[in-house]
Homo-oligomer: A and B are copies of this chain.
Amino acid sequence: MRTNDAAGRVRAKRLPREVRERQILDAAVGVFSQRGYHAASMDEISEVADISKPMVYAYLGSKEDLFAACIRREATRLMEAIADGVSGAGDRPDVQLWHGLRAFFGFVGEYRDSWQVLHRQASAQGGPFAQELLDMRRRAVSLVAALLLNTADSEAATLHADAMAAALVGAGESLADWWLDHPEESAGAVAARLMNLVWMGFGNLVEGQMWQPPK
C-alpha cells in the first residue's frame, strides 16, 4: 500500500524489518562517507533512508551502534571480495597477490562510499568503533603478510613481512585515493601499477638483493 507524505512524495509503507535495515544502512553509509561521523546527523540519515528517526533507533540503536554496523557490513564485503579474488588464483604467490589487488581495486571502484567510510572516517575516530575497523585492516595486513611469507622463508623476508605488508596496504589505499582523481584508468590497470611496484621490489628482496645507503 502507498500514501503521500507532507511533501507529496510517495512513500512505501509497512515494509518488513529486514528491508528497512538495509535501507537505513545504505543511507548511513552514504551520509557518513559524505559528511564524516560527527557531522552526519541522525535526522539526515533517517531522511535519506525515507523513514522516521525513531525507527532508526528501534532497529539499529544509537549513532555509535549504527556506525559500527556500517563498518562491519562494508568491511565484511571488502574482505569477502578480496578472499574470493585470491581463492581462485592457483598457488603462485605473485598471481595470488595480483588477484587480490584486482579484487581490492574492483571493490573500491564499485563502492566508493563504502571505501570512504572504511578508510577515512573509521580510522579518524578514536572511539570504540574504530577498533572494529582496525581489526579488519589488521586481518588484511596479516593476509598479505602470509602471502609474502609464502614467496620465500629467507630470514630477510621474514623480518620484513609484516612491515612490508603494512606498507603495501597503505600504498594500495593511497593509490585508491589517487585513482579517484584519475577515473580513466581501469581497476586492472591500477592494480597492475601497484603490482609492478611491489612485486619487482619483492622479487629482488627475495633473492637477497638489498638497497644499501651510501657510507
Contacts and interface: CB of A to CB of B under 8 A. Distances in A.
Interface of A: 34-39, 92, 94-95, 98, 120-121, 123-126, 160, 162-164, 166-175, 177-178, 182, 190, 192-205, 209-211, 213-214
Contacts of A192: 211, 213
28 contacts: A34-B126, A36-B125, A98-B213, A123-B124, A162-B178, A163-B182, A164-B193, A166-B175, A166-B177, A167-B174, A168-B171, A170-B173, A170-B174, A170-B175, A171-B174, A173-B174, A192-B211, A192-B213, A195-B211, A197-B198, A197-B202, A198-B201, A199-B211, A200-B200, A200-B201, A200-B210, A200-B211, A201-B202
Stoichiometry, copies per complex:
2
Contact of A200 (B120, B173, B205, B213): B205
A172 B202 CA distance: 17
A188 to B, nearest CB: 8
A164 to B, nearest CB: 6
B214 A193 contact: no
A7 to B, nearest CB: 27
Contacts of A124: 36, 120-121, 123-124
A204 B126 CA distance: 40
A162 B177 CA distance: 13
A182 B120 CA distance: 23
Contacts of A178: 162-163, 166-167, 170
B160 A193 contact: yes
A204 B203 contact: yes
A119 B198 CA distance: 23
A21 B184 CA distance: 45
Nearest to A209: B200
Given A39-B38, A170-B173, A164 B197 contact: yes
A170 to B, nearest CB: 2
A209 B204 CA distance: 12
Nearest to A141: B178
Nearest to A163: B193
